[in-house]
């Protein structure tokens, strides 16, 4: 396996302030952890590409946090390196 895309799902009810606050805090905690981990690429604050080689500690943190805090997380496994298609290339 090459990598795992982890998505911390935002609450379905955006009017539920407690759920939004809890999600925001969980996302911030994971963003902070991701910044320190070279095996993790952050895609916007609640989406991370975790390399299988070296990224297991971060993946474990995602799984344990989402379980403890009852946050929804989706995981997508890539057997090979993802082939990204960009709509725009910056100069």
Domain boundaries, the chain: 3-78
Helical (H) or strand (E) element with 22: helix 17-35
Give the CATH number of domain 3-78: 3.30.70.600
**pTM above threshold 0.85:** yes
pLDDT band at 7 (very low <50, low <70, confident <90, very high): very high
pLDDT tens per residue across span 34-88: 999 999 999 988 999 999 999 999 999 999 999 999 999 999 999 999 998 888 8
> What is the predicted pLDDT for the residue at 87?
86
Cα torsion 23, 76, 33, 81 to 10°: value is -150
């Amino acid at each position: 396996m090459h990598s795992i895309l982890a998505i911390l799902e935002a609450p379905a009810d955006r009017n539920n302030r407690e759920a939004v606050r809890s999600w925001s805090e969980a996302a911030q905690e994971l963003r902070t952890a991701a910044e320190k981990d070279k095996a993790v690429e952050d895609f916007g604050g609640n989406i991370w590409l975790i390399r299988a080689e070296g990224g297991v500690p971060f993946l474990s943190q995602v799984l344990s946090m989402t379980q403890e805090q009852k946050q929804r997380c989706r995981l997508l496994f890539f057997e090979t390196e993802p082939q990204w298609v960009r709509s725009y290339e910056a100069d």
